[in-house]
Amino acid sequence: MTENPLVFIVLDAFRWDYLHPRRTPFLCQLAHTSVHVEKLVTASGFSQRAALFTGAPGDVTGHLAMHRFDPEGSPFRFLSGKMWPRIVDEITRRIPGPVGRVLEARFRSRIYEKARKEARHPSTARIPLHLLPFFSVSEDLRPIQEPGALGVESIFDRLVEAELPFAYLMYPEVDGTDDATERALAARASEDRAVYLGLFSAADQRGHLHGPASTETAGACAELDWRLRRLRRVFHRAGKDPVWLVIGDHGMLEVTRRVDVLGVLRGAARRAGLVEGRDWVAFCDSTAVRIWFLTEKAAAPLASALEALADFGSVATQEIARARRIPFGDRSQGDLLWLAEPGVLVCPDYFHRRDETILGMHGYDPQVDGQKGFAVLGGPGVGRVTIPEGHLVDGCATLCDLLGLVPPSSCEGTSWVGRVVEA
């Protein structure tokens, strides 16, 4: 347990090999003088926060992606049976450019605000409006830092039990810009907190738009390093010498191929006389497609249609799900789950505009090197050690060790602290 405050920073999509002495000197100094987990195996899918704060993978927490199938509990169920969402979908599909985007954004904003009565952050993403009532959000039904919000015990349950004050300054508690996060952390630095938690997203945003090997993504890494250096000065001016735990929660791969899975499914559905939203529904994540069969006749033709996409991906079997720690047999995650091969982008998906070119993506097999993040832990009392590979769930156990807490009951991680804290 450290008596110094803990600053815990997640660098979204900061890949393990983004560290560079000239580009990221602050992070490299931490890596070379204290604890450096060279490669960090991420969690499957898009629910890294759940894995990080509970110490448990998706087959334990039930979290896999931002949205899940839940018609009865959907915060968007007020749209059920209404015709205008389908009309708006058709109009905005036919109106190209800024006019269509502005019109769509206005409708989505109004839906979001009404749905907030039942969910903390009911993102509509790019889900067709008429299909929204089938889905709910996964991690964000309640503020994630509330006890019990993630379905199993989390580090926040332990913090509340121990009455340790903390400042949770991650999206959506602060707006989605890194400037806002830095300002929020700086403003709270003088407060008496056991742990300050923040998230920066520049590497993720630039990586998606420009690719992980781009100069733009390299520039984002340099900016993030500057932000951390500025925050260190802020804490020092406040009379504090924190322990720093910085985690790149996952990596990013270059997009090399694209596949229209939804088009294949809709073509097969038309030939079989199936109606989307009555006989079947799908959710297109960027690297996976989840399908639900609402009538028995939908299963065979849609499953058969995916066989033609064997060069781009495959249907998850129980063995694959077990290896990747993916929820299997949980209907909220799909009656059938199709997983893209590394580098394959599902396009269109339910997160990006059709006219938006995405050059980098994550959410593939966590064991692929380019999907791995990193971790550094440094500060008073922390010795120097290099750990070749760790796991994202270790972050929870490490946080608990640093704060003198018993890990959550479902935590499977192993703390890095016992290997590195000097006697």
Query: Mind listing the pLDDT tens digit for each residue in 69-119?
Result: 999 999 999 999 999 999 999 988 888 778 888 888 999 999 999 999 999
Q: What is the pLDDT of residue 422?
A: 42
Q: What is the pLDDT of residue 169?
A: 96
381, amino acid identity: G
418 CB neighbour count, 10 Å cutoff: 10
Nearest to 189 by CA among 156, 228, 235: 235
β partners of residue 259:
346
β partners of residue 167:
196
Query: pLDDT tens for residues 308-343?
Result: 999 999 999 999 999 999 998 889 999 999 999 999
User: Residues, the chain, total?
Assistant: 423
Say which CATH class 6-62+140-253+366-420 falls into: alpha beta
Which tokens sit at 226? Answer: 């500057």
Please give the Cα distance from 148 to 152 (Å, whole number).
6
Q: What is the pLDDT of residue 95?
A: 83
Q: What is the pLDDT of residue 329?
A: 86
Task: Give the DSSP letter of residue 317.
Answer: P
Determine the 3-state secondary structure of 283 from DSSP: strand
Which tokens sit at 191? Answer: 């407060």
Please give the Cα distance from 156 to 267 (Å, whole number).
46
187 CB neighbour count, 10 Å cutoff: 12
Residues of the chain with CATH 3.40.720.10: 6-62+140-253+366-420
Beta carbons of 35 and 420 less than 8 angstroms apart: yes
Q: What is the pLDDT of residue 100?
A: 83
Provide the sign of the torsion angle of the four alpha carbons 45, 50, 54, 55, taken in this order: positive
Please give the Cα distance from 248 to 377 (Å, whole number).
12
Q: What is the pLDDT of residue 99?
A: 84
Residues of the chain with CATH 3.30.1360.150: 256-358
Q: Which residues of the chain have pLDDT under 70?
A: 1-2, 418-423
Beta carbons of 207 and 224 less than 8 angstroms apart: no
Determine the Cα angle at 317 with ends 47 and 391, to 5°: 35
Fold for the domain defined by 256-358: Gyrase A; domain 2 (3.30.1360)
51 CB neighbour count, 10 Å cutoff: 29
- Hunting for tokens 């993506």 — which residue is that? 361
Nearest to 64 by CA among 399, 315, 324: 324
Q: What is the pLDDT of residue 3?
A: 78
Nearest to 387 by CA among 411, 365, 418: 418
The answer, yes or no, to whether the previous bond of 21 is cis (omega within 30 of 0) is: no
HSE (CB half, 13 Å, CA atoms) of 399? 32
Please give the Cα distance from 75 to 316 (Å, whole number).
28
